[in-house]
Chain A
Amino acid sequence: MTCADVRLDEYLDGELGDVDRRLAEAHLSSCAACRGELERSRKLEALLRKVPAGSAPDADRFVSQVRSRSRRPVPWGLGAAAAVLVGLAGLLALPLLRPWREVSQTALRAELLKYAAGPSEGFEREIVRAGPAGLEVLERELSNPDVKVQFAAAALLFKIADPATRERVASSFTLRPPGNGGWVLSDPGAEETDVELVPIAVSALETGGHERWAIDVLRRLNRMGSQAQGRIIESVVTLLKSDNPRVQKLALDIVKELDIEFPLSAIVDLLDSPELGDEALRILRQATQKGLGKDKAAWRKAIE
């Protein structure tokens, strides 16, 4: 083992397996330079540990305050979803255009999993054609134990359902009563699969009515790192290309609010929009520190 191979930090932190640890020890016993480096790391650690953290608050008072604050109503309509969902089957018992009730759950879930991986317009059209029965089967999947299926169902509902159904979906993003299972999103971004919420939030933006909620969810998901950011960028670029100025404006709002490097070329395309050209120009200037006007060709050249 050479000095370059010895993983001193991992050795110091007890992260090496038995074999690697023994190899590191053997190297250290014969290499003064690495022993010196290890010693410096230990001294640094000792120095860092001497920095005081301050004493903790009184435990009883702390616990009691957490208890009382936990029982305040949560912002997104605590627990309403389950009760609403119970009555849903009756509300949607309308004539079927297609035999959607007969669709096997396994087949539907397989489709939803595919949709979670990449939205498909074909599948969306199928559900729309199925009418209320299509929405009904989707709503049932909001309780599916597989979160990807839940997310895909919710994303689709946001995209194609009527406002009342969308309202129910939004409400279900909250704490559910004990024993009801499903996901809880009082802190989106706390678990890896929350990244699947990106399309739901984006669908909510597109359909309107929950814009602030959706941007807040995206902002929180943005904390999750590159995987979520990649999904957000992908979605925002799609929104920027929409032919609906309201949706394009929302996409620009996300660009402004989230600290992500969006592809500027998608923003250049908005420069000749009567409604959004000025805003797009401001964003481009801020991102590049260049003082160009609304000449799209010049901007394309500048950001190449």
Chain B
Amino acid sequence: MGSMSEGDAMVDAELVLKFKGGEESAFEALVKKYMKDAYSFCMRLTHDAQEAEELSQMGFVSAYRALRGFRGESSFKSWLYRIFINHYRDRMRRTRRAEARLQVVREETQRRQAAPVEESSIHASELSDLVRSKVELLPDRQREVLVLHLYQGLDYHEIAGALGCTYDDVKMNLCLARKRLKEELKEHL
């Protein structure tokens, strides 16, 4: 999605307005515009293709139902991400998969620690797995901020809008996430 230009935000605002005026195709245009980013965002959070597709679809369904009442307190993009985050948190809570997911990552990390590999011999995909597992183990808010910033390209204000927190919270959580990852991945930096 990338940090959005004013023009981009205006296009969204126009599409929202058209949808509110009864043009269903305007919503379809918004889905087409944001679906790849929405899916990759959900994938970054869940690491499960089926779950990511379900979450991103349900996020759009909620957005469709709520869009007529969208009050524009934040940009459409921040609002949309907030809906995805809400769905993700609900789902994790309901299925208690968050704990299970963390357990898998913990076990994976313990295995790695038990049998450390030579840095020179670490395969690119193994390094990716290691980095992913370190991101997974970040506290929820730090992980959400990092994913929204790094992979979804939102700026601090947009992230604050998406997560319902302050600009300073975003700054602090991103700083903490980086600090922790730098420490945990220091051998690869």
B74: chain A residues at CB < 8 Å are 191-192
Q: Which stretch from A42-50, A115-123, A268-276 is at the chain B interface?
A: A42-50
- Known contacts A54-B49, A184-B65, A223-B89; is A63 also within 8 Å of B35 by CB? yes
Contact yes or no, B79 A40, CB < 8 A? no
A191: chain B residues at CB < 8 Å are 70-71, 73-74, 79, 82
Q: How far is A178 from B56 in the complex, measured between Cα atoms in Å?
A: 24
A43: chain B residues at CB < 8 Å are 189
- Known contacts A44-B189, A186-B62, A190-B82; is A51 also within 8 Å of B128 by CB? yes
Chain A: residues with Cβ within 8 Å of the partner, total of 50
Residue of A nearest to B141 (CB): A225
Q: Which stretch from A64-72, A242-250, A285-293, A295-303 is at the chain B interface?
A: A64-72
Contact yes or no, B31 A54, CB < 8 A? no
A44: chain B residues at CB < 8 Å are 178, 181-182, 185, 189
Restricting to B30-52, which residues have a CB under 8 Å from any CB of A? 31-32, 35-36, 39-40, 43-44, 49, 52
B28 at the interface (CB under 8 A from A): yes
Contact yes or no, B32 A40, CB < 8 A? no
Distance in angstroms from B137 CB to nearest chain A CB is 14
Chain B binding surface, main DSSP class = helix
B132: chain A residues at CB < 8 Å are 51
Distance in angstroms from B31 CB to nearest chain A CB is 5
B90 at the interface (CB under 8 A from A): yes
A53 at the interface (CB under 8 A from B): yes
A262 at the interface (CB under 8 A from B): no
Contact yes or no, B61 A190, CB < 8 A? no
Q: Given contacts A62-B31, A191-B82, A192-B74, could you give 13 more A-B pairs where the C-beta distance is less than 8 Å?
A: A44-B178, A49-B151, A54-B43, A56-B39, A63-B28, A70-B64, A176-B68, A187-B62, A187-B86, A190-B86, A192-B164, A225-B164, A225-B165
Identify the A interface with B (CB < 8 A). 9-10, 13-15, 40-41, 43-45, 47-54, 56-57, 59, 62-63, 65-67, 69-70, 74, 147, 175-176, 178-180, 182-187, 189-193, 220, 223-225
The 7 A-B pairs at the shortest CB distance, nearest first, are namely: A184-B69, A186-B65, A70-B64, A53-B40, A187-B62, A66-B60, A56-B36
Identify the B interface with A (CB < 8 A). 20-22, 27-28, 31-32, 35-36, 39-40, 43-44, 49, 52-53, 56-58, 60-71, 73-74, 79, 82-83, 85-86, 89-90, 124, 127-128, 131-132, 135, 146, 149-151, 155-156, 164-165, 171, 174-175, 178, 181-182, 185, 188-189
